[in-house]
Amino acid sequence: MENKCQCGGEIKEYDMLFECIECKAKVWKRSFGREFKTKEAMDLLSGKVIVACGFKGQNGSFYDTKVQLVNGEVILIFDEETKSTKICTCECRGEVFKIPKGYKCKDCKKIVWEMFVNRELKLNEIKKLFKGEPIYLKNLRSKKGNVFDAEIYFDGKEIELEYIA
C-alpha cells in the first residue's frame, strides 16, 4: 500500500482494521454499523474529511454523514450539509436531531448544547444524557476561573449540575 498516514507513517492492513505503524491511528473496517472501504480508510488516515453513506440509525434507517479521523480515532461529524441527521433516541423514545450548536429531541424538546461551560461534549456523552444517564466532566472552568468537576444529567427538561468535591 503506497498510501501514507498524515503523520507520514506507513499504513498496514489487518483483518479487522487499517493502522498507521507510526502513530497507531486506526480505522476499523467495521465501525458505526458500517463497512469502511479501503479507499475511505486511506482518505481518513491521510487526514481527509469524507462524506460516507450507509450508517445505520437506531430505527433501521440509513444516514450519511461526514467522517474524520481525530487523535487517531474515527469520529462522525453531523452538520447542516449532511441530510439525514437522526443521532439517537431520547429517553422518551423521540428522535434526537442535530440543531445548530446542539441536539434536540423531536418529541419532548429536550436540548443538549454542544458546549457545557468550557467543555465541548462528545457525541457519546450527548447520547448518554438523552438516555437519562449522568456524565462526569472534569476540569470545567467557571467564568470566574474556578476549576471544578461535576456530574450532569437531565432532571425533567433541564440539565442539572452536581459539583464533585
Q: Which of 70, 52, 71 is nearest to 62 (CA)?
A: 52
Q: Which helix (H) or strand (E) holds 40?
A: helix 38-45
Choose, by CB under 5 A, the member of 7, 76, 99, 161 that binds Zn ion.
Answer: 7
According to the binding rule CB under 5 A, does residue 9 interact with Zn ion? yes
According to the binding rule CB under 5 A, does residue 111 interact with Zn ion? no
According to the binding rule CB under 5 A, does residue 105 interact with Zn ion? yes
According to the binding rule CB under 5 A, does residue 22 interact with Zn ion? yes
According to the binding rule CB under 5 A, does residue 20 interact with Zn ion? yes
124 residue type, one letter: N
Nine-digit cell string for 153: 444529567
Nearer to Zn ion, 90 or 129 (CB): 90
Q: Which of 127, 131, 116, 30 is nearest to 86 (CA)?
A: 127
One symbol per residue from 48 to 87: x for binding Zn ion (CB under 5 A), - otherwise; what is it?
----------------------------------------
According to the binding rule CB under 5 A, does residue 90 interact with Zn ion? yes
Sole window of 21-29, 51-59, 76-84, 144-152 interacting with Zn ion (rule: CB under 5 A) = 21-29
Dump strand ranges (E) for 7-94.
11-13, 17-20, 26-28, 30-31, 34-35, 50-56, 62-70, 73-77, 86-89
Kindly determine how many residues on this chain lie close enough to bind Zn ion according to the rule CB under 5 A: 13
Q: Which helix (H) or strand (E) holds 125?
A: helix 123-131
What would you report as the CA-atom Rg of the chain, rounded to the nearest whole angstrom? Answer: 18
Least CB distance from residue 129 to Zn ion, whole Å? 11
Residues that bind Zn ion (CB under 5 A): 5, 7, 9, 20, 22-23, 25, 90, 92, 94, 105, 107-108
